[in-house]
Structure 1
Amino acid sequence: MNASTFFNTPNAERYLGTLCKHFGHKVPVTHQPGSGRIELPFGHCELRADESGLQMTVEAPDQPQLDKMTGVITSHLERFAFRENPQLEWQVSGA
């Protein structure tokens, strides 16, 4: 199962880097300019940044773990981007 959301922001690359650096202290992370991947025990998150914003797609084996993934990514982005007050709406697919 997966879910995707888009955060319209001029600071997408900065938030992508901040998320990857934060999670990279505890879990496997891949980060390069414009993209990243965060591997959590219950799923993973693909991130893509461009001039229009930050695209995030999470994948997990079942709905409870997918909900956990969206919650963890959302809460961290809200903390890092508090000045922009992100309102994320996750679109679920693969149910």
Structure 2
Amino acid sequence: MSVSVARVPTHSASKYLQQLAKHWSHKMEVTFSEEEGRIAFPNGAVLEMRADSETLDVALTVPDGEDVERMRGVVSSHLDRFAFREAPLTFDWAAV
């Protein structure tokens, strides 16, 4: 398993968390509230999000054998779509 984290500066973190969760809820296992979200991808990857007034914290767990960079790109590009007014968002991904 590979775990990547990023702290994304935005004052609209809760809004973007909820939009992404709703968007993917039709295809994946999703649970979310205004402050937290969890999305389980079909390939076994899991995205966990936590929103506060200034940042969206994301933690992406990717199973061995899956493309970590591709999964990071999927998450960041989708969030950028919802954040079009302030995109691109800053994702300083770090492996944990």
Fold-level similarity (TM above 0.5):
yes
Compared with structure 1, are the counterparts of its residues 37 and 84 closer, same or farther at alpha carbon in structure 2 (3 Å cutoff)? same
Report what 2:55 is aligned to: 53
User: What amino acid is aligned across from residue 15 of structure 2 in structure 1?
Assistant: R
1:25 aligned counterpart, secondary structure = coil
1:87 and 2:90 correspond: yes
Give the unaligned 5+ runs of structure 2. Answer: none
Give the unaligned 5+ runs of structure 1. Answer: none
Equivalences for residues 23-62 of structure 1 within 5 A? 23-42=24-43, 43-62=45-64
Confirm or deny: 8 A CA contact 2:9 2:90 kept in the other structure.
no
**Alignment TM-score, normalising by the size of structure 1:** 0.90
Cα distance, 1:63 vs structure 2 = 6.3
Confirm or deny: 8 A CA contact 1:60 1:66 kept in the other structure.
yes
> CA RMSD for the aligned pairs?
1.3
Aligned length: 93
1:14-71 CA-to-partner distances (Å, cap 9, x unmatched) read: 0000000000011110011200001112201000001111000000112643222211
2:67 aligned counterpart, secondary structure = helix
